[in-house]
Amino acid sequence: MRAAVLREVGAIPEPGEWDDPPAPGEGEVVLEVAAAGVNPIDLAIASGRFYGGAPDTPCVAGREGIGHTEEGGVLVYFDAPVPPFGSMAERTLVRAETVVPLPDGADPVASLAFGIAGLAGWLALSHSGALQKGESVLVLGASGTVGRIAVQAARLLGAARVTAAARRPDALSDLGADAVCGLSEDELKEACPDGADVILDPLWGEPLVAALALGRRGTRVVQIGQSAGASAEIPSALIRGRPLSIVGHANFAIAPEDRHAALRTMVEHNLRGELSVPVEAIPLAEVSEAWERQAGSPGAKLVITP
C-alpha cells in the first residue's frame, strides 16, 4: 500500500510503499483511511522531541485519522495506530478502543479538525478550565486551528464574553468574538479591560506574561502549548496577588469517554453550521511539502488524503 514513510528520526516523511496491516488481533481493527491529520505532535514525534520518546523507525507517520471499517463501511475517527503503522496510509491497524463512530453525514476531511486540535480547544475549556455558563474567556493564539475552535467552543459552552488574541488580529474577524486584539499587554488590556475567568494559552512565553496581567481573583489559566517559547519569566506577584491558577492540559489526561463525546459533539455542531475551521486536503504524494508547511503557520488544518 502507499504510505508516508518516516525512514529515520529527524527526517521528513516521504511517500512510499509499506506492507499492508496483518489480520487484526484481539481488540484490534484494520481501517481503510479516508483522511489523516497533520499536527504539531506528529512533527515532535518524528523529530524525537516528543516527551513520550522517539519512534522506532522506519514507520508510517501520522497519529490520527478518519476511515471506514472493513465490515459495514462505518465512518470512524481513530488515534494512536498500532506501531509501526500510522494514519498517513491507505490502510492502518488501530486498537478498537480508540475508534469513535461519527454522526451520519460527517465529512472525513472537515471532521478531522475536531480530533487532536479540536479536542485541545474544547476540552481545555470544558474540563481543564471548568468553564461555567456566564463566565468570560480570553483565547491566546486564536488564529491557529486550536485557537479558532476554542473561541467558537467558548460561546457554544455558554461563555458570556469571548476575547480572541493573536499576532494578526485582522485574521480573527470571522470568529464571532466579542473583541479581537494583538498579544501585547496594552492591546490585551484594551480589548479585555475586566480580565477573564478563563485564559486559554497555547503560546507560553511573553504573550502569557502579558495576559497574566489581566488575571483577577480566581482566574484559571489553561496551558496547552509553547508556540511562542519554551520558557516564560513570570513574577510571582502575578500569581499570588490575584490569586490565580495555572493548570496544564493534555488530551490524553481526559477520560476516553469524555474525549469521544466531545469529538462527536463538535462534529454535530459542524454539521449544523455552528463550528468550523479552514481545512485543506492534500494528496499523500505531497506529504513532505505538507510536513514542512505545518512546521510554519499553515493557516488551515492540513489533512492528508491517501
pLDDT at site 299: 83
| CA gap 213, 191 in Å, rounded | 13
Beta partners for residue 65, in sequence order: 36, 78
∠ CA 286-252-76, nearest 5°, is 55
79, 15 Cβ separation under 8 angstroms: no
pLDDT at site 86: 98
The three cell numbers of residue 184 are: 501585547
Q: Mark the ranges of the chain whose per-residue pLDDT is less than 50.
A: none
Residue whose grid cell is 461563555:
159
Which of 36, 55, 30 has its CA nearest to residue 45? 55
pLDDT at site 242: 84
pTM, 2 dp: 0.93
pLDDT at site 154: 98
pLDDT at site 237: 87
87, 13 Cβ separation under 8 angstroms: no
